[in-house]
Structure 1
């Protein structure tokens, strides 16, 4: 069963690159903060690179003005996430998180079997808004769609 509104986010270690590969506990990422976390099936894939991440880059300052942090996650390694962020001109402060073994994705119950495309286990496309580690809004896309997890949709639904 997947995570639901009102649930606490599971505690898992993710990775990101700053001055090196850094392990980041999800509690440290979400506790005491308002965060929009959006997940994509894969860095450098068409919809993710042409629409999903660019929307959050474009609207990043609007989220910040609302006091909301933004994080992008994919089942990729941290070096891929760093390179993708650089290629997409991700602003400083928009967190690029690697869930390399899909541990967080599985804990959320939002995994996708993309082995038919040679991609193994990936994350479903989704966006959630959490306050202090509690899910307040969850938008999970139907397979092959990109609507409810967009930056514009999340901005429209934020309290």
Structure 2
């Protein structure tokens, strides 16, 4: 069952890297008392994700924060080392929290997975963006397969 507006984010552990190495972050801690934009994409270093999706959120970080967003988070079904390397390659700095959903636990829990086995990628996250306020989904924009229209940083800004 796919998560929808008004639903509470499920409690799942994700991974991220910081100066001290790999860290576990629970969705409970990530979303509690904050307004968060979480955008997900099929894979780090993939063409649309690297050329458009992640860069759009880096470029629009200040505008999103100006609209009351506390955290901007990028999620992909990759490991924390890949997400960290991709963040560095994209010059993300501290503008976007790079989250690894290595086993697709979060993606499965919210019902937003895609089958990438035809591309040798296995189960991946769909391309989407959501605004979550204190753990509750306020907006959810899921892309049609192969599309990049409703989950961009610009689309999220318009919705805020």
> Per-residue displacement from partner, 1:120-140 (whole Å, max 9, x unpaired)?
000000000010000000000
What TM-score do the two structures reach when normalised by structure 2? 0.97
> Per-residue displacement from partner, 1:30-56 (whole Å, max 9, x unpaired)?
010000000010000000000000000
User: Partners in 2 of 1:57 and 1:93 — Cα distance?
Assistant: 6
Gaps of 5+ in 1: none
Q: After the TM superposition, which segments of 4 or more aligned residues of structure 1 sit over 4 Å from their partners? A: none
Specify the alignment match of 1:21 in structure 2.
Answer: 22
Equivalent of residue 122 in structure 2, options 120, 128, 142: 120
Specify the alignment match of 1:145 in structure 2.
Answer: 147
How many residue pairs get aligned? The number is 158
Q: For 1:49-64, list aligned pairs within 5 A.
A: 49-64=50-65
User: Partners in 1 of 2:39 and 2:96 — Cα distance?
Assistant: 11
- Match of 1:154, SS? helix
Give how far 1:93 is off: 4.0
Q: Is the 8 A contact 2:58 2:95 kept in 1?
A: no
Specify the alignment match of 1:6 in structure 2.
Answer: 6
What TM-score do the two structures reach when normalised by structure 1? 0.98
Specify the alignment match of 1:103 in structure 2.
Answer: 105
